Amino acid sequence: MKYVCLGFMDEGKWASMAAAECEAMMKECFAYDEILKRDGHFISDTALQSSGNAVTLRWYQSKVSVTDGPFAETKEQLGGILILEARDLNQAIQLMSNHPGVRLGGPFEIRPMHEEITTRAMEGLDANELLASIK
């Protein structure tokens, strides 16, 4: 079973940490990724730039409106997305509880991947289906 782990973080706190401290934390996280890889739990890890670099799109009055910034203005912003392979939710919880990043204060959100829809999205439509869908 695949679990998507959304790592939220207080960007202000991260920005206020000394460069050496940030580097040390990242190295710890990479080392933990290696353990996850060794044990067959690692699928992917994606780090995000600061939420200050985000734009938000919305369907508004029949067209797309573009606004600056992240969707929600909260102290904790999404900082990275880790995808895990785990036996069940308890194992996913245990794996993420040992992740060094959780000590930054998080929070981490763990969500089961919707594997059926993800597979359909990844495989894509075949040519006939595609033609039918855009008719």
Partner 1 sequence: MIPISAEKIHQTVEEIYRTESRRVLATLIRLLHDFELAEEALHDAFIAAVEQWQQKGIPDNPRAWLVSAGRFKAIDKIRRRARFDASLQALAHELDEAVSDEIEGGELEDDRLRLIFTCCHPALASDAQIALTLREVCGLTTEEIGRAFLASPATLAQRIVRAKSKIRDAKIPYQVPEPDELPERLDAVLQVIYLVFNEGYYASSGESLMRPDVSGEAIRLGRLLMELLPEPEVLGLLALMLLAESRRAARATSAGELILLEHQDRSLWSRELIAEGTALVEQALASRQVGMYMAQAAISAVHARAATTDTTDWGQIVALYDLLSRASPSPVIALNRAVAIAMRDGPEAGLALVDQILQHGELLNYQLAHAARADFCRRLGRKEEALAAYRKALALAQQEPERRFLEKRIAELS
- Please report whether residue 94 would count as binding partner 1 according to CB under 8 A: yes
Single out the segment in contact with partner 1 by CB under 8 A; choices: 4-12, 72-80, 89-97, 118-126. Answer: 89-97
In the bound complex, what is the minimum distance in angstroms from residue 96's beta carbon to partner 1? Answer: 12
Q: What is the DSSP letter of 88?
A: S
List the structure tokens of 78: 């999404």
**Would you count residue 65 as binding partner 1 (CB under 8 A)?**
no
Integer angstrom CA distances of residue 116 from 47, 79, 109: 25, 26, 21
Contact between 112 and partner 1 (CB under 8 A)? yes
- 87 interacts with partner 1 by CB under 8 A: yes
Neighbours of 79 (CB within 10 A): 20
Q: Does 56 engage in binding with partner 1 (CB under 8 A)?
A: no
The answer to whether 105 contacts partner 1 (rule: CB under 8 A) is no
E-only strand ranges, the chain:
2-10, 42-47, 55-60, 63-68, 76-85, 108-112
Length of the chain (residues): 135
Which parts of this chain interact with partner 1 (CB under 8 A)?
1, 87-91, 93-94, 111-112
